């Protein structure tokens, strides 16, 4: 009998969510969140996340944050913004964000730390609609089932490029939001 390859043991099911327009929005009239406290959870997102957590799915987020490169927010502020989201929604275990237009950088934020994947071979493809952040998360988690939820065409395109099942955010919030 062939020996099992321990490298490929999967870690369960994984829900990946986009953040802006999918899970959260600014509290202010600004189009984008520019300060960590300027955010609220979109109705239905909390219930939908709670549902997936209750059936044992791990949940992580991926978000383009070129507002950093555009000078709208500092890298430090962007990290705090993601940690604030994880305070509001503790089921989200990690947030991966790409702060540059070239998609070369990717930071992973947890409630307590930050690590970067700027030298990873996927560097250059992190910014959606490129699939780099999704492929990175798949590499790290090696999940069984996987689904990505997002609100924009570039989210769907990234999911297609990564061969991941995609669900539109409004449909996802409507389907699971009452949980």
Contact yes or no for 134/158 (Cβ under 8 A): yes
Residue closer to Mg ion, measured from CB, 24 or 105: 24
Residue 90 in contact with residue 61, Cβ under 8 Å? no
User: Considering the complex, what minimum distance in angstroms separates the CB of residue 45 from Mg ion?
Assistant: 12
Helix (H, G, I), strand (E, B) or coil at 40: strand
Which residue, 142 or 161, is less far from Mg ion as judged by CB?
161
Nearer to Mg ion, 34 or 142 (CB): 34
Binding site for Mg ion (CB under 5 A): 18, 20-21, 151-152
What is the SS3 assignment for 125?
coil
CB of 17 to Mg ion, least distance (A): 9
The residue number with the shortest CB distance to Mg ion is: 21
DSSP annotation string for 45-71? HHHHHHHHHHTT-EEEEEEE-TTTTTT
Q: How far is the CB of 163 from Mg ion (least distance, A)?
A: 21
Supply the minimum distance, in Å, between the C-beta of residue 56 and Mg ion. 26
> Could you tell me the two tokens for 153?
């065409």
């Amino acid at each position: 009998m062939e020996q099992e390859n321990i490298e490929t043991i999967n870690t369960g099911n994984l829900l990946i969510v986009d953040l802006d327009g999918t899970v959260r929005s600014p509290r202010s009239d600004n189009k984008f969140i520019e300060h960590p406290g300027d955010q609220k959870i979109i109705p239905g997102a909390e219930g939908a996340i709670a549902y997936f957590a209750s059936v044992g799915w791990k949940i992580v987020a991926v978000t383009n944050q070129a507002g950093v490169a555009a000078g709208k927010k500092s890298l430090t502020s962007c990290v705090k913004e993601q940690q604030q989201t994880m305070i509001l929604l503790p089921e989200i275990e990690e947030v991966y964000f790409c702060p540059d237009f070239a998609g070369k950088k990717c930071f992973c934020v947890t409630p307590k730390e930050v690590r970067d994947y700027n030298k990873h071979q996927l560097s250059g493809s992190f910014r959606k609609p490129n699939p780099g952040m999704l492929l990175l998360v798949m590499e790290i988690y090696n999940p069984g089932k996987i689904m990505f939820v997002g609100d924009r065409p570039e989210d769907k395109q990234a999911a297609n490029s990564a061969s991941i099942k995609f669900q539109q955010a409004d449909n996802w919030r409507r389907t699971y939001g009452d949980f």
